[in-house]
Amino acid sequence: MRYWLMAATAAVLFAGSFAARSLLVPSSGTAAGAGSAAPGRIVSLSPGITESLFAVGAGGQVVGVTTYCNWPPEARPLPRVGAFLDTNFEAIVGLAPDLVVLMPSHRDHRAELERLGLRTEVVDQTLLEDIPASLELLGRLTGHEAEGRGAAAMLRGQITRVRDRVRGAARPRVLLSAGRDLAAKRLSEVYVAGHRTFLGQLLDAAGAENAFPDSAVDYPALSGEAILRLDPDMILEVVMSDTDIAPEDAAAAWRGLEGLRAAREDRIVVLQGAHLTIPGPRVGAALEELARAVHPQLDWAAP
């Protein structure tokens, strides 16, 4: 599947997560504590949740993950239960989980799982500020409360460090490309991150102004002509780690937009890695990577 198509699908799912925030209902799960045993067989339906479970010390309790759960390496051998659009409920039931952890956008999935008699818990990682709290919640749910608090504190510290470092610096207008056909020599359809998205939030926390004006669409597709009209100070492109396109080749397509200020001033940066797009415990490192790209003039070695 081409990268731009995967990004378009991801955009739809992110949009669904935002819409779901106002529709959340109480989860059927309860935190592990006095009188209740921690779940021993957990199925995760999100890469971010999978990473978070391992981060709080509950990796040994995970028995099933999605197609795209490839981090940490210990998650790779685990049984797969499909992804958002092709979830295999039969496979989930076959794993005999005592807890299935979902995102807010999994409303229909949750209804089906509970119809099948499975316990579910919704964990919200939609917004940047949700992620530390999600680590604390997962720690409580799985019997690793201290580890959850520790992971959350470390992540909050990473986020605060970046925000403090960029505070007071001039905020360049940055267009964040979240997906396109990287093999194309000419830019034709580029999915960019809007203000309300997870990536848009990262961009703001990294000390940048989003060059794309607010829109009802979270990840709109822009033409080359539309990008020229926006004329951002900088292009920041996020690509998956498994692409066979070299970052310098990806950047070359942007330089083909004659008159683009970011190309003229050599401010096109291509960052590679799934961690840049997954809300989870690695978001602190992802945020710093974005901030370093946006503000290379700052002293990032300072404590």
Domain positions in the chain: 39-163, 170-294
Handedness of CA 47, 38, 86, 67 (dihedral sign): positive
In order, the DSSP letters of 9-66 are HHHHHHHHHHHHGGG----S----BTTBPPPSSEEE-SHHHHHHHHHTT-GGGEEEB-
> Residue 19: its pLDDT value, please?
37
Q: Identify whether the C-beta of residue 39 lies closer than 8 Å to the C-beta of residue 141.
A: yes
Distance CA 295, CA 6 (A): 29
Question: Which tokens belong to 29?
Answer: 């799960």
Mean pLDDT of 84-88: 94
**More confidently predicted of 29 and 215:** 215
- pLDDT band of residue 222 (cuts 50, 70, 90) is very high
- pLDDT band of residue 11 (cuts 50, 70, 90) is very low
What CA dihedral angle connects 105, 80, 95 and 138, to 10 degrees? Answer: -50
**Buried/exposed 214-227: b ≥16 CB within 10 Å, e otherwise:** eeeebbebbebeeb
> Residue 1: its pLDDT value, please?
39
| Predicted TM-score (pTM) of this structure | 0.86
Taking all residues of the chain, what is their mean pLDDT, rounded to a whole number?
87
> Residue 50: its pLDDT value, please?
98
> Residue 7: its pLDDT value, please?
43
Distance CA 88, CA 90 (A): 5
Share of the chain above pLDDT 90, in %: 72
**More confidently predicted of 70 and 36:** 70
The answer to whether domain 39-163 and domain 170-294 are alike in fold is: yes
Mean pLDDT of 203-231: 92
Residue with tokens 């917004």: 127
Does residue 300 surpass a pLDDT of 90?
yes
Q: What fold, for 39-163?
A: Rossmann fold (3.40.50)
Q: Identify whether the C-beta of residue 171 lies closer than 8 Å to the C-beta of residue 207.
A: yes
**More confidently predicted of 212 and 23:** 212
**More confidently predicted of 42 and 2:** 42
Distance CA 133, CA 282 (A): 14
SS3 120: strand
User: Best-predicted range by mean pLDDT among 11-25, 245-259, 278-292?
Assistant: 278-292
Does residue 30 surpass a pLDDT of 60?
no
Q: What fold, for 170-294?
A: Rossmann fold (3.40.50)
Does residue 31 surpass a pLDDT of 60?
no
Q: Identify whether the C-beta of residue 52 lies closer than 8 Å to the C-beta of residue 138.
A: yes
Read off the amino acid at residue 86.
Answer: D
Distance CA 154, CA 55 (A): 11
- In this structure, the chain runs to a length of 303
> Residue 297: its pLDDT value, please?
95
Does residue 23 surpass a pLDDT of 80?
no
